[in-house]
Chains A and B, each alone.
Chain A
Amino acid sequence: AQSVTQPDIHITVSEGASLELRCNYSYGATPYLFWYVQSPGQGLQLLLKYFSGDTLVQGIKGFEAEFKRSQSSFNLRKPSVHWSDAAEYFCAVAASGAGSYQLTFGKGTKLSVIP
């Protein structure tokens, strides 16, 4: 079974600084990988996804993530953080293949932004 680890429970950055949120997954084959963002009191919004092909994927709101098979990682990055990026971020992995439709989520990383 697949699993996801987000090592950082809480990260604080200054507005304008760069950001990297870590995600490590465990899965025997090539996974489908996702990053979701959740603002307080809201549902989850998909930021970006990796299915295959180019290992650097671009998402909404200026975010990008890089799939590194050798490190089993899918880290989320943003070059310059805005105060509105303060939220909780979830990495998720899905097993690829027919009939595989279950997502496994990490426990989340809460991002605080200092003005």
Chain B
Amino acid sequence: DAGITQSPRHKVTETGTPVTLRCHQTENHRYMYWYRQDPGHGLRLIHYSYGVKDTDKGEVSDGYSVSRSKTEDFLLTLESATSSQTSVYFCAISDQRGIRYNEQFFGPGTRLTVL
């Protein structure tokens, strides 16, 4: 299995509070992604990173920000959490070289509940 960890694995917070989720990889992969998973919606891309300090928005980026100061860490921040951000968040990584192009490996997920 690809070396991807997410922390925390579970979090309950209140509306309006800031929340940061961390994704850590030991594979030295260039690309990292944050998805959210909601029933009936599959996985939707929030933000992704194509290198240190290089990030871009995905399909559902409103209300989220990201940072990547090191190759191995990709942080997802909810500046002011809302109940609509209650979801399961997955981090993924990929190594965009050769045959592994676009093959993404997923972390175990973080279940976030916003009350």
Query: Which of B72-115 touch A at CB < 8 Å?
Result: 90, 92, 94, 96, 99, 101-109
Does A34 lie within 8 Å of B108, measured CB to CB? no
Q: How far is the CA of A115 from the CA of B45 in the complex (A)?
A: 36
Chain B interfacial residues counted at CB < 8 A: 24
- Please encode chain A, from 88 to 113, with 1 for each CB lying within 8 Å of some chain B CB and 0 for all others: 00100010000011110111100000
A34-B50 CB under 8 A given contacts A102-B58, A107-B42: no
Residues of B contacting A36 with CB < 8 Å?
Answer: 106
Number of residue pairs A-B, CB distance < 8 angstroms: 47
Does A90 lie within 8 Å of B106, measured CB to CB? no
Chain B residue nearest in CB terms to A44: B106
Does A42 lie within 8 Å of B96, measured CB to CB? no
Residues of A contacting B40 with CB < 8 Å?
Answer: 107
Contact size range, A: 20 to 34
Residues of A contacting B58 with CB < 8 Å?
Answer: 102
A43-B90 CB under 8 A given contacts A101-B48, A102-B48, A106-B42: yes
Residues of A contacting B94 with CB < 8 Å?
Answer: 101
A51-B106 CB under 8 A given contacts A44-B90, A101-B50, A101-B96: no
**Chain B interface residues toward A at CB < 8 A:** 31, 40-45, 48, 50, 58, 90, 92, 94, 96, 99, 101-109
